[in-house]
Chains A and B, each alone.
Chain A
Amino acid sequence: GNSVTQMEGPVTLSEEAFLTINCTYTATGYPSLFWYVQYPGEGLQLLLKATKADDKGSNKGFEATYRKETTSFHLEKGSVQVSDSAVYFCALSEDYGQNFVFGPGTRLSVLP
């Protein structure tokens, strides 16, 4: 079946540091890939997505590129802020109307 693996953390960085959160997936077809963010006490918010190989999703300074050859969708940000402290979930969807498969989440703490 489909699955998503990501570094579980926690990841602790200083403000303005570079962030990478690794995500790899296993899927039978050609899924769409997503990053969701969960701020403390809140629900899941879509951060970015990519729907086909070599697509780059970007939002709020975060980027991720759909790499079919390595089945990866790593999340990056050049300079993190304290307000980026949250749990980040990588997810995939095989087709419309199909359930999302989530990774375990990576907790990021950014220190001032």
Chain B
Amino acid sequence: EPEVTQTPSHQVTQMGQEVILRCVPISNHLYFYWYRQILGQKVEFLVSFYNNEISEKSEIFDDQFSVERPDGSNFTLKIRSTKLEDSAMYFCASSEGSGTNTDTQYFGPGTRLTVL
């Protein structure tokens, strides 16, 4: 069964450094998403991406964040200057974009980001 993959599984970085989290969505999917989950808290939406551009973003997704689909398979989240409060599990998801509201999002296993 096709699945969303994410690398790395765990990233440790120093405050102020840039990180890139990578995702490979399911191959025939058209919509891509990033969510984050601060330890012990709820899953929060960051951004959605369709047709090579951001379709929606939350207030969390400020100027330090960016997303890119650099080739036909990868979908990346860049955090330009990490802060301690960016420490969280980051989940990538993808969906078919079926044109109905039955569109299911499939999640990757997550990347745990630790900012020291």
Interface residue ranges, A against B (CB under 8 Å): 30-32, 34, 36, 42-46, 49, 51, 89, 91, 93-105
B70 — which chain A residues lie within 8 A by C-beta?
Answer: none
In B56-73, the 8 Å CB interface with A consists of: 56, 58
Stretch of B13-21, B42-50, B75-83 lying at the A interface: B42-50
Q: Of A31, A45, A97, A104, which is within 8 A of B50 by CB?
A: A97
The 8 A CB mask of B84-114 against A (1 = contact, 0 = none) is: 0000000101011111111111111110000
Are B42 and A43 within 8 A (Cβ)? no
Provide the bound-state CA to CA distance between A105 and B103, in Å. Answer: 21
Are A51 and B55 within 8 A (Cβ)? no
Are B109 and A96 within 8 A (Cβ)? no
Are A103 and B101 within 8 A (Cβ)? no
> Given A46-B106, A89-B43, A100-B105, list of 9 further CB < 8 A pairs?
A44-B93, A96-B97, A96-B100, A97-B31, A97-B95, A100-B43, A102-B42, A105-B42, A105-B43
Are A31 and B104 within 8 A (Cβ)? no
Are A32 and B43 within 8 A (Cβ)? no
A89 — which chain B residues lie within 8 A by C-beta?
Answer: 42-43
In the assembled complex, the CB of A107 is this many whole angstroms from the nearest CB of chain B, namely: 9
B100 — which chain A residues lie within 8 A by C-beta?
Answer: 51, 96
Are B104 and A49 within 8 A (Cβ)? yes
